[in-house]
């Protein structure tokens, strides 16, 4: 007699923050988790999905995880979901889940439900999203991590994928989940989902103070940030929308443009050194007095040799001058030994303000691939005098690594002044 193969029974060993219970239980089409750094929103969302996808009640459900740049999923949604599997099932996780790394994919052995990962940075990736199908069930859930990276048009494309009858399982429902830090009060997410009341929208706010798994050292760190940067704390400590007042740069737009070197008057590389805070490298083009952020490398906890390997892999043009922070001469030497034309920017009293003044005179175009430059420029603000409630001429020195890179990139412009803008005597034209 043939014997039936028994599917493994699910054992659950996971703890949630109670604050997320309404969020986990909601069935509205749009579920938005706006929160501070360390609030646990992404960890919670990952655990919520793993439990549901592995539950026979939701057989036929499938999840699409989305970032602006597809590769970013590896260290965010994919990593969080894998971590959730390990937490829930422990050492026996292989009995319940298949974890594939190339391409990234997760599959429940209990239900057959799958998780796939995509990006939305260009038309090619958007077309791939439009053609997604599953062997079993339907695409029912979409998780958009770092949702502020996406355009409204990107989300409309994703939203259109959630359609059709789900009569084969009455427990299933369509839902898009957005998780993000509320960087700017002018972001389209606020206007579309938070400034209106609609039965299909569920919004949730969380902070690190409601995360019972946060350690005391992190609490102390956030208190230090509150003292140093009250406006930044509003976003990353309280999970509130960033105020629009006091913005340093508003003369920018994020849009697709031709990044071929031939279209620019000249190009440079620029780098702000970092380790615990980000090391930011940018490839910058100049054309008719405008600045174009073409590419970025944005890495944490990487030493110089590792960053050089990344720059080599990304084929950063070694023939371009690379303007760097003059406070790190040893690092500049290492980049030179690696074949890059690393040079120190000139620093003098008032140089930061002078760099900002030059940036304000330009129109700045940021390519959609440069998501970290976008995030920083949206919240780069002047420091506020809390006693007088006025803004000073000093920038807030926090979450500004790409902005420092941007300041260094205009060294030729600043050294040559208006005459240099016209003559371009020292253009870097070798490609």
Selection from 429, 149, 393, 400 nearest residue 267 by Cα? 429
Which long-range contacts (C-beta less than 8 Å, at least 24 apart) are formed by 163-171? 164/138, 166/60, 166/138, 166/140, 168/60, 168/137, 169/58, 169/59, 169/60, 169/61, 169/137, 171/57, 171/58
- pLDDT number for residue 417: 65
- Report the alpha-carbon distance of residue 172 to residue 57 in Å, rounded: 8
- pLDDT number for residue 427: 44
- pLDDT number for residue 11: 53
- Report the alpha-carbon distance of residue 126 to residue 124 in Å, rounded: 5
- pLDDT number for residue 430: 40
* Tens-level pLDDT at each residue, the chain (431 residues): 444 445 555 555 667 889 999 999 999 999 999 999 899 999 999 999 999 999 999 999 999 999 998 999 999 999 999 999 999 999 999 999 999 999 999 999 999 999 999 999 877 888 889 889 999 999 999 999 999 989 899 999 999 999 999 999 999 999 999 999 987 788 899 999 999 899 999 999 999 999 888 899 988 988 987 877 777 788 888 888 877 678 899 899 988 899 999 999 999 999 999 998 899 999 999 999 999 999 999 999 999 999 999 999 999 999 999 999 999 999 999 999 999 999 999 888 888 988 999 999 899 999 988 989 998 998 888 887 777 777 788 888 878 999 999 999 999 888 776 444 444 434 444 43
Selection from 23, 64, 82 nearest residue 154 by Cα? 64
| Domain annotation for the chain: domains and CATH numbers | 18-228 (3.40.50.300), 252-423 (3.30.420.280)
Classify each residue of 108-132 as buried b or exposed e, where b means 16 or more C-beta atoms within 10 Å of its C-beta: bebbbbbbbbbbbbeeebbeebeee
8 A C-beta contact, residue 320 and residue 281: no
- pLDDT number for residue 137: 96
Enter the tokens of residue 101.
């790394």
3-class DSSP state of 189: helix
The length of the chain is: 431
- pLDDT number for residue 10: 54
- pLDDT number for residue 303: 95
Sign of torsion over alpha carbons 237, 240, 241, 245: negative
8 A C-beta contact, residue 89 and residue 110: no
Entry pTM: 0.72
Whether the bond between 219 and the residue before it is cis, its omega within 30 degrees of 0, is no
8 A C-beta contact, residue 266 and residue 230: no
Q: Return the half-sphere exposure (C-beta side, CA atoms, 13 A cut-off) of residue 121.
A: 17
Q: What are phi and psi of 208, to 5 degrees?
A: -60, -25
Enter the tokens of residue 292.
């174009």
Residue 230, exposed/middle/buried by CB under 10 A (0-12, 13-18, 19+)? middle
């Amino acid at each position: 007699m043939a014997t039936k193969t028994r599917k493994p029974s699910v054992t659950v060993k996971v703890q949630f923050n109670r604050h997320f219970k309404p969020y986990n239980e909601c069935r509205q089409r749009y579920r938005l988790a706006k929160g501070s750094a360390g609030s646990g929103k992404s960890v919670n969302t990952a655990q919520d999905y793993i439990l549901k996808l592995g539950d026979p009640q939701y057989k036929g459900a499938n999840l699409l995880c989305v970032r602006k740049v597809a590769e970013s999923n590896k260290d965010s949604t994919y990593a969080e979901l894998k971590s959730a599997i390990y937490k829930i099932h422990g050492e026996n996780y292989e009995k319940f889940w298949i974890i594939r790394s190339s391409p990234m994919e997760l599959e429940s052995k209990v239900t057959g439900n799958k998780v796939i990962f995509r990006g939305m940075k260009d038309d090619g990736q958007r077309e791939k999203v439009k053609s997604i199908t599953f062997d079993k069930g339907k695409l029912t859930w979409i998780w958009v991590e770092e949702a502020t990276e996406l355009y409204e048009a990107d989300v409309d494309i994703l939203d259109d994928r959630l359609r059709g009858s789900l009569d084969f399982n009455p427990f299933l429902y369509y839902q898009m989940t957005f998780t993000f830090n509320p960087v700017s009060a002018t972001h389209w997410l606020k206007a579309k989902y938070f400034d209106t009341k609609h039965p299909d929208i569920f919004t949730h706010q969380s902070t690190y103070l409601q995360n019972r798994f946060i350690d005391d050292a992190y609490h102390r760190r956030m208190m230090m940030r509150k003292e140093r940067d009250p406006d930044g704390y509003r976003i990353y400590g309280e999970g509130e929308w960033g105020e629009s007042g006091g913005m340093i740069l508003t003369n920018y737009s994020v849009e697709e443009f031709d990044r071929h070197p031939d279209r620019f008057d000249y190009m440079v590389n620029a780098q702000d050194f970092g380790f615990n805070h980000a090391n930011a490298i940018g490839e910058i083009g100049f054309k008719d007095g405008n600045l174009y952020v073409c590419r970025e490398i944005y890495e944490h906890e990487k030493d110089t040799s590792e960053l050089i390997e990344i720059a080599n892999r990304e084929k950063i043009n070694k023939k371009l001058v690379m303007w760097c922070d003059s406070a790190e001469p040893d690092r500049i030497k290492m980049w030179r030994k690696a074949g890059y034309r690393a040079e120190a920017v000139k620093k003098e009293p008032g140089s930061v303000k002078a760099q900002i003044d030059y940036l304000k005179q330009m129109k700045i175009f940021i390519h959609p691939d440069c998501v970290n430059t976008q995030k920083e420029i949206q919240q780069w603000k002047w420091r506020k005098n809390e006693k007088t409630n006025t803004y000073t001429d000093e920038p807030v020195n926090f979450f500004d690594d790409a902005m420092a890179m941007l300041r260094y990139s205009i060294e030729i412009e600043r050294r040559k002044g208006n005459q240099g803008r016209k003559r371009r005597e020292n253009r870097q034209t070798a490609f």
